[in-house]
Chains A and B, each alone.
Chain A
Amino acid sequence: MKLYWFLFFCFCVSQNLIAQDPVLSPRIANYKMHIELDADTKKLSGHTILRWKNTSNNPIEYLLFHLYYNAFKNSESTFFKEGSIPEFLSSDIDEVCGWSWSEITSIKDQEGNDLTPNIHHVQPDDQNTEDQTVLKVPLAYSLAPGEEIVLEFDWEAKIPKTMPRTGYNKEYYFFAQWFPKVGVYEPAGMRYSTEGQWNCHQYHANGEYYADFGNYDVSLRVPKGYTVASTGSLKEKTEDSNTETWRFTQNDVIDFTWSTSPHFVETTEWYKDVAIKFYTYPYKTDYTKRYMEIMKFCLQYMEEHVGPYPYKTISVIDPPVHGLFTGGMEYPTIISSLSLKFFPEGVKTLETLAAHEFIHQYFMQMVATHEMEEAWMDEGITTYYEGKILNAFFGEKCSTIDQFGITVGNKEWNRTEFFNSSAIDLAPNTLKSYEYTNGSYGPTAYNKTAIWLETLEGLVGAESMAEIMRTYFDRWKFKHPCRTDFLDVVDEIVLSNNKEQFPNGMQWYFDQVLFGTAVCDYSIEHIENEILEPKRGFLNTLDNCTEEEQEGSPFICSIFIRRLGDMKLPVEIEVSYEDGVKELYTWDGQNKSHELKIHSSQKIISATLDPEFKLPIDKNLINNSLSISSKSKATSTFLSEIRSGFQHVLEGIVSII
């Protein structure tokens, strides 16, 4: 009988477990919110119940909150001081009062203590007292390690008009970083913290976000007829005479974002049990198929190469043209892309953005690194996978543009973006987003990282690289890793798979590409084929001097290679002989120059450094090869094309005469 009851108990527990979502994350910051959108006054009013857990070993006296909408409160915020927003976004900001604000009007804890009188703005990053993007909420009592606190607060926000990434325009609304959101308390030992401390940056002109995982239960009351696209899954929808309330829930995410418009056309398709929800405007519904195809491909690719996508939905918004200020962004289980009817189908912007923003679900959302302090870990790794996915989807040579015979691949586009920028050696990857100068943030965080990850793949091999990325994701998802965690995984896999080649791991590499600003440029300077002189003297007998032809290898061939940059990498050299035979040599690339001497029966006709293009980080590909023959026919053809083009231009100019 006892056994019967025990089995019954086990059954009940297991049923209960099956019915509930698995717990994926530590669920530190959990929100239940009721939000009302007033479309007439462009205001949001919210009621939030935040359940927050102290996971550190020290008591906590206060909480820090982001009030991101205060970045657009006036021209004195740090956001505006650091870099004004583009003129076309802010052209009518004063006319229509497009500025915004966010304010907690009352806040109390679960014991009814009113915390409102003591809340005040603080500026952890700079001394700009005008900046109100971080709010300090002193607690009525210190929160002991492991304890939870429930804070209940009312807040209001004025919605910005066409500000970067968020706001409204016409009847289109996009709410990102829109609610008072608690910062991250990093316990001692987490990332770089030696003692428990708040990590809650002000809103800067450059850089994105960082937040703790939690469960969200959000009810959104919007005017009747509006469609809501949001993080999570729709649980219920109720309505009264003028409004509809949409309730969404999502567990184990770091943020909650939503968008609404009366004009959204919604389409749902499935990849396995993941609903792909696509929201667009009626004049762009013809893009639906393209979006669905790339999204399904991304889901499959990331599942096969990195790890499974654990959520039930992924929503994709293609904003209308007047909502382009919100395009190309990533939020948990919801992304925004961008398409413009100006672009012909061969320009793959929408697929590029959709893929890029989706990949962020893995590195921005699940791994959840600090986007502002270590942007490369999110944007760079995402750009690396963007190249992989798009090249696999469209083909390597035409994954960015394939129109009128002009083809551009994603990876080559990315590489050129970086080497054509002025940021080649301006900054290491270790700066905080807002510390980059002279436009070096984008090229360094996005492009450079993708290039050095591809180069790392070239060095350790595709298999090791795949294992590194899978291990890194699997080990660190839902844990906020920092760069040392990534580097540790790299060393672990390399020391296991590539120990012979890299016995000391890869720190030497990261010192150059991540912590440093070294530039890579190897060059083949010249090739010489010297004929060995015949042997002379007393060769076979002591009686006479004789002369004999050299046997076997009458040539001493030398290839002179230089390291023009300060980056040191091992390089491969492919040597081609007259009879078509090719041989591969390696050089550790350490010295400033190297002479490869080969005894051969054949003349060397050409040599190529890095023949398999494993080192895209080499900035000049032209000097990577050299031939002993005179200049090629291809150059003449190329020049004759340019000449012919110029002649046509001349005729075009004089056609007006």
Chain B
Amino acid sequence: MNIISTYNNAIKNLATVWPILAFIFFVNCLFGYVFISPLKASLDETIGKSLFAERLGQGFDYTALTEILRETGGLSGLSSWLIGLALLYFLWNIFTSAGFLGILGPHSKLSIWNKFYQAGSKYFLSILTITFFSIFLFSLGLLAVGVILQALGLNLLQMETELALIRNIKLAVVFLFVWRFLIGIFRDHCKLDVIDNGLAFWSMIKNACKHFLSSHYILLAFFNVAILALFLILLFFLKSSLGEFVLFGTIGLLGQLSIFLRVVYRYIRINSFHALKQSKLSHDIENED
């Protein structure tokens, strides 16, 4: 089973599903605009035509930022606005993730929207359940880390040196990354199981447990993450190296491109998992034959 070819298959589907991904990206942008609209209004009111605004365009400027935060009242007034939008976006993406389950593998361009919407409503509850379970698992990891760090000691006055604590925190961060990575694989197995068997919670967990430590899936997940990271880093460096010497808008465009990539990644990831599962199944059937 070739990871690369599985991945390739997943990418090929982009030719069909890109309008959906573009739509999801568009909604993300919309949320971005909605979020900053009150900020924009208060910024226009406080900075308006002040020359001070120029300082905002000259890289990080502590005085400019703190002055604006103080005079606009900061983000404190926006916190409920931010939480509300994030919650809405969260629910919308439960729907899109459920929708992805209907457009995995090759499909005709004509039926794609239909299938996306149908799967979105059909699997909405399943995805919501899986997501809460993922959050629960991650919280368990966080709790474990917290308890262990606490047990090892957090009071600086009781330490000979802070080196042990620094090492422990680094280990905790690495552990949380790995834990989050494994949860991602587990979650994707659950999603694929839902397509085959509907939402049967315990059997879904059982099946996911059976497969999720398979080296192929881990390798594929790693490959997925690595490709995304590579692209994001590339964009970041491109963005920072361009500096001020580019046409207005280019920097913003690069920022948006990285958001779009993240949306694409979400689809490719579940799609490649699906392709791997399909090819594994056919391989198993061939072996049985």
A interface residue numbers (CB < 8 A to B): 88-89, 91, 162, 169-170, 281, 283, 320-322, 324-325, 340-342, 405-409, 412-413, 415-416, 419-420, 606, 608, 620-635, 637-644, 646-651, 653-657
Chain B contacts for A639, CB-based, 8 A: 36, 39-40, 43
A345 to chain B, nearest CB (A): 14
Q: Are A412 and B63 in contact (CB under 8 A)?
A: yes
Interface stretch, picked from B3-11, B111-119, B152-160, B212-220, is: B152-160
Instruction: Using A341-B166, A625-B51 as known contacts, say yes or no to A654 and B63 having CB atoms under 8 A apart.
Output: no
Compute how far the CA of A320 lies from the CA of B159 in the bound complex, rounded to whole angstroms.
9
Would you call B29 an interface residue if the criterion is a C-beta within 8 Å of the partner chain's C-beta atoms? yes
Compute how far the CA of A648 lies from the CA of B32 in the bound complex, rounded to whole angstroms.
9
Would you call B93 an interface residue if the criterion is a C-beta within 8 Å of the partner chain's C-beta atoms? yes
Q: Are A622 and B160 in contact (CB under 8 A)?
A: no
Would you call B198 an interface residue if the criterion is a C-beta within 8 Å of the partner chain's C-beta atoms? no
Chain B contacts for A620, CB-based, 8 A: 67, 71
Compute how far the CA of A640 lies from the CA of B161 in the bound complex, rounded to whole angstroms.
44
Chain B contacts for A649, CB-based, 8 A: 86
What 7 A-B pairs come out closest when comparing CB atoms?
A: A634-B57, A644-B255, A625-B51, A638-B56, A654-B93, A643-B32, A408-B62
Q: Are A406 and B60 in contact (CB under 8 A)?
A: yes
Would you call B35 an interface residue if the criterion is a C-beta within 8 Å of the partner chain's C-beta atoms? yes
Q: Are A88 and B258 in contact (CB under 8 A)?
A: no
Would you call B192 an interface residue if the criterion is a C-beta within 8 Å of the partner chain's C-beta atoms? no
B28 to chain A, nearest CB (A): 5
Tell me the B256-279 residues at the A interface (CB within 8 Å). Answer: 256, 258-259, 262-263, 266
Q: CB-CB contacts of B45-83 with A at 8 A, as 1s and 0s?
A: 011111111111111101100111011000000000010
Compute how far the CA of A625 lies from the CA of B263 in the bound complex, rounded to whole angstroms.
42
Compute how far the CA of A407 lies from the CA of B162 in the bound complex, rounded to whole angstroms.
26
A632 contact from B57, B68, B90, Cβ within 8 A:
B57
Would you call B33 an interface residue if the criterion is a C-beta within 8 Å of the partner chain's C-beta atoms? yes
Chain A contacts for B161, CB-based, 8 A: 281, 283, 320-321, 341
Chain A contacts for B68, CB-based, 8 A: 622
Compute how far the CA of A654 lies from the CA of B258 in the bound complex, rounded to whole angstroms.
15
Instruction: Using A650-B86, A654-B93 as known contacts, say yes or no to A644 and B47 having CB atoms under 8 A apart.
Output: no
Instruction: Using A622-B71, A650-B86, A653-B90 as known contacts, say yes or no to A632 and B97 having CB atoms under 8 A apart.
Output: no
Would you call B223 an interface residue if the criterion is a C-beta within 8 Å of the partner chain's C-beta atoms? no
B47 contact from A412, A629, A635, A643, Cβ within 8 A:
A635
Q: B55: nearest residue on chain A (CB-CB)?
A: A634
Chain B: number of interface residues, binned into ranges: 35 or more
Compute how far the CA of A657 lies from the CA of B138 in the bound complex, rounded to whole angstroms.
12
A577 to chain B, nearest CB (A): 15
A436 to chain B, nearest CB (A): 22
Chain A contacts for B57, CB-based, 8 A: 632-635, 637-638
Contact sample, A vs B, 17 pairs, CB 8 Å cutoff: A320-B160, A321-B162, A322-B160, A412-B63, A416-B62, A608-B51, A625-B51, A627-B49, A634-B56, A637-B251, A643-B36, A647-B28, A647-B259, A648-B258, A648-B262, A650-B31, A656-B183
Besides A624-B52, A632-B53, 16 new A-B residue pairs in contact (Cβ under 8 A), listed by A number: A88-B156, A321-B162, A324-B157, A341-B163, A341-B166, A405-B240, A608-B51, A621-B67, A631-B44, A641-B252, A644-B32, A647-B259, A648-B262, A654-B89, A654-B97, A657-B131
B266 to chain A, nearest CB (A): 7
Q: Are A643 and B33 in contact (CB under 8 A)?
A: yes
Chain A contacts for B43, CB-based, 8 A: 635, 638-639
Q: A642: nearest residue on chain B (CB-CB)?
A: B36
Q: A341: nearest residue on chain B (CB-CB)?
A: B162
Q: Are B134 and A656 in contact (CB under 8 A)?
A: yes
A32 to chain B, nearest CB (A): 35
Chain A contacts for B62, CB-based, 8 A: 407-409, 412-413, 416
Q: Are A631 and B256 in contact (CB under 8 A)?
A: no
Chain B contacts for A655, CB-based, 8 A: 262, 266
B225 to chain A, nearest CB (A): 10
Instruction: Using A324-B156, A405-B60, A640-B252 as known contacts, say yes or no to A646 and B36 having CB atoms under 8 A apart.
Output: yes
Q: B244: nearest residue on chain A (CB-CB)?
A: A637
B63 contact from A321, A325, A415, Cβ within 8 A:
A415
Would you call B135 an interface residue if the criterion is a C-beta within 8 Å of the partner chain's C-beta atoms? yes
Q: Are B56 and A656 in contact (CB under 8 A)?
A: no
Q: Are A322 and B158 in contact (CB under 8 A)?
A: yes
Compute how far the CA of A420 lies from the CA of B43 in the bound complex, rounded to whole angstroms.
18
Compute how far the CA of A644 lies from the CA of B235 in the bound complex, rounded to whole angstroms.
13
Tell me the B131-183 residues at the A interface (CB within 8 Å). Answer: 131, 134-135, 138, 155-163, 166, 183
Tell me the B1-36 residues at the A interface (CB within 8 Å). Answer: 28-29, 31-33, 35-36
Q: B28: nearest residue on chain A (CB-CB)?
A: A647
Q: Are A647 and B31 in contact (CB under 8 A)?
A: yes
Chain B contacts for A420, CB-based, 8 A: 66, 70
Chain A contacts for B93, CB-based, 8 A: 654, 657
Compute how far the CA of A175 lies from the CA of B230 in the bound complex, rounded to whole angstroms.
55
Would you call B185 an interface residue if the criterion is a C-beta within 8 Å of the partner chain's C-beta atoms? no
Compute how far the CA of A88 lies from the CA of B266 in the bound complex, rounded to whole angstroms.
45
Q: A412: nearest residue on chain B (CB-CB)?
A: B63
Q: A526: nearest residue on chain B (CB-CB)?
A: B49
Chain B contacts for A629, CB-based, 8 A: 49
Q: CB-CB contacts of B209-233 with A at 8 A, as 1s and 0s?
A: 0000000000000000000000000
Q: Are A340 and B162 in contact (CB under 8 A)?
A: yes
Instruction: Using A620-B71, A639-B36 as known contacts, say yes or no to A628 and B49 having CB atoms under 8 A apart.
Output: yes
Q: Are B258 and A342 in contact (CB under 8 A)?
A: no
Q: A282: nearest residue on chain B (CB-CB)?
A: B161
Chain A contacts for B48, CB-based, 8 A: 631
Q: B36: nearest residue on chain A (CB-CB)?
A: A643
Instruction: Using A321-B159, A341-B163, A647-B28 as known contacts, say yes or no to A635 and B36 having CB atoms under 8 A apart.
Output: no
Would you call B248 an interface residue if the criterion is a C-beta within 8 Å of the partner chain's C-beta atoms? yes
Instruction: Using A622-B46, A633-B248, A648-B259 as known contacts, say yes or no to A322 and B63 having CB atoms under 8 A apart.
Output: no
Instruction: Using A324-B157, A407-B60 as known contacts, say yes or no to A419 and B70 having CB atoms under 8 A apart.
Output: yes
Chain A contacts for B33, CB-based, 8 A: 643
A33 to chain B, nearest CB (A): 29
Q: Are A625 and B52 in contact (CB under 8 A)?
A: yes
Q: Are B155 and A646 in contact (CB under 8 A)?
A: no
Compute how far the CA of A100 lies from the CA of B163 in the bound complex, rounded to whole angstroms.
31
Would you call B94 an interface residue if the criterion is a C-beta within 8 Å of the partner chain's C-beta atoms? yes
B18 to chain A, nearest CB (A): 18
Q: Are B49 and A162 in contact (CB under 8 A)?
A: no
Which one of A622, A625, A628, A639 has the highest number of Cβ atoms from chain B below 10 Å of its Cβ?
A622
Compute how far the CA of A413 lies from the CA of B39 in the bound complex, rounded to whole angstroms.
24
Q: Are B51 and A626 in contact (CB under 8 A)?
A: yes
Would you call B127 an interface residue if the criterion is a C-beta within 8 Å of the partner chain's C-beta atoms? yes
Q: B169: nearest residue on chain A (CB-CB)?
A: A342
B289 to chain A, nearest CB (A): 38
Q: Are B138 and A656 in contact (CB under 8 A)?
A: yes
Q: Are A405 and B31 in contact (CB under 8 A)?
A: no
Instruction: Using A407-B62, A608-B51, A650-B86 as known contacts, say yes or no to A283 and B163 having CB atoms under 8 A apart.
Output: yes
Q: Are B157 and A650 in contact (CB under 8 A)?
A: no
Compute how far the CA of A325 lies from the CA of B248 in the bound complex, rounded to whole angstroms.
51
Q: Are B59 and A405 in contact (CB under 8 A)?
A: yes
A407 to chain B, nearest CB (A): 6
Q: Are A322 and B70 in contact (CB under 8 A)?
A: no
Q: CB-CB contacts of B120-131 with A at 8 A, as 1s and 0s?
A: 000000010001
Tell me the B235-259 residues at the A interface (CB within 8 Å). Answer: 240, 248, 251-252, 255-256, 258-259
Compute how far the CA of A326 lies from the CA of B252 in the bound complex, rounded to whole angstroms.
48
Instruction: Using A638-B57, A642-B39 as known contacts, say yes or no to A627 and B157 having CB atoms under 8 A apart.
Output: no
Compute how far the CA of A413 lies from the CA of B66 in the bound complex, rounded to whole angstroms.
10
B162 contact from A342, A413, A415, A637, Cβ within 8 A:
A342
B35 contact from A342, A641, A646, Cβ within 8 A:
A646
Q: CB-CB contacts of B78-112 with A at 8 A, as 1s and 0s?
A: 00001001100110011001000000000000000
Compute how far the CA of A369 lies from the CA of B246 in the bound complex, rounded to whole angstroms.
56
Q: A656: nearest residue on chain B (CB-CB)?
A: B134
Compute how far the CA of A405 lies from the CA of B135 in the bound complex, rounded to whole angstroms.
33
Q: Are B258 and A621 in contact (CB under 8 A)?
A: no
